[in-house]
Amino acid sequence: MRMTKWLAGAAMAAAALVATSPAQAQKAQFINILTGGQSGVYYPLGVALSQIYGKHIDNVKSTAQATKASAENMNLLQAERGELALALADTVSDAWNGNEEAGFSKKLDKLRGLSATYNNYIQIVASADSGIETLDDLKGKRISVGAARSGTELNARAVFKAAGLSYDDFDKVEYLPFGESVELMKNRQLDATLQSAGLGVSSIRDLAASIDITVVPISEEVVEAIGDAAYLPATIPAGTYEGQDDDMETAAVPNFLITHKNVSDDLAYEMTKQLYENLDSLQSAHNAAKAIDIENNAEGMPVPIHPGAERYYKEAGVLD
């Protein structure tokens, strides 16, 4: 009797093994999305995209990782420590070309494009009591320019150089993420912060709700003097932040979703497809996502497009 029970149990276990073996044989795929600081725009978009992928792509485990943003993201992709990243156009171009001045000692040749997204606006915000109203007024003041060698900090270098300024012109330069920069401004330990982000970024909204601010204009002449096609003249509309009553000239830089060449074609295809088929969820995470348009799928992409993304765009009829 005992032997009969044992044989029956063994048969059931064997049947269960056979039934589950196909699923076990299919290994889970991982999508690690490289974002930026938690007070910026990259992070909430990355978290929302991670949730979309986890829900809509079979057998995928997806996470969003907070990073120092664009430059670090490109290095992490090259090392295959992530599958997807948000990054600024000029940083992607510098990484692809191995621009040593931007912190890339060699060409990051594994990078591949997935999609255009939205524009970053270079937003220079000063405390009203600092007296800063123009770029020239920043001389002798205390400013934060983003994490060292981040996309924001590279933007800062470009803008200040075009305006005839250097870091030596400031009393103090801090290399801090958005949230920390804002806290120092609230405590009167900084006079200004430069933040490259989508309009309505939470860090500046938080600052404007706490102290009176001045948004410092970046003229079209300064934007043109940068001499880089990635930098576009743009406007921060009046009312974007509390106390900002006028439209303000500035520079904008496109953002891209970048992957690497060793991500499979099928996975890159699905990442692209689910991005566009679930834009409403992404837009709920942040208004910046409302600028994502499939018609602009790879416009201005500084690196070769991934074959999987290319397949999706051709199927969608937006790429020849």
Q: Answer whether residue 167 shows pLDDT above 80.
A: yes
- For the segment 274-289, the average pLDDT, to the nearest whole number, is 95
Residue 320 forms part of a structural domain: no
pLDDT for 37 equals 87
Residues 249 and 126 in one domain: yes
Q: Residue 155's pLDDT is what?
A: 95
Query: For residue 161, how many other CB atoms are within 10 A of its CB?
Result: 14
Q: Is 150 helix (H, G, I), strand (E, B) or coil?
A: coil
Give yes or no for residue 27 having a pLDDT over 80. Answer: no
For the chain, the average pLDDT equals: 92
Last residue of a domain, one of 253, 273, 306: 253
Q: Is 58 part of any domain?
A: yes
pLDDT for residue 3 is more than 90: no
pLDDT at 98 over 90: yes
pLDDT at residue 26, as a whole number? 62
CA distance 90 to 53: 27
pLDDT value, residue 150: 86
250 touches 196 (CB < 8 A):
no
What percent of the chain has pLDDT above 70?
92
Residue 31, helix vs strand vs coil: strand
Beta-ladder partners of 33: 64, 84
Per DSSP, 304 falls in state P
Task: Evaluate if residue 215 carries a pLDDT over 90.
Answer: yes
Q: ∠48-54-57 over CA atoms, to 5°? A: 120
What would the pLDDT profile of 36-79 be if each residue is shown by its tens digit?
988 888 999 999 999 999 999 999 999 999 999 999 999 999 99
The domain in which residue 180 lies consists of: 120-253
Nearest to 157 by CA among 91, 98, 203: 91
Dihedral sign (CA 241, 245, 220, 193)? negative
Do 64 and 147 have their domain in common? no
Please state the pTM of the whole predicted model. Answer: 0.82
What CATH number is attached to the domain comprising 278? 3.40.190.10
Question: Domain for residue 153, yes or no?
Answer: yes
- Residue 195, in any domain of the structure: yes
Classify residue 73: in a domain, yes or no.
yes
Task: Verify that 96 and 128 share a domain, yes or no.
Answer: no
Of 279, 296, 298, residue with least CA distance to 288 = 279
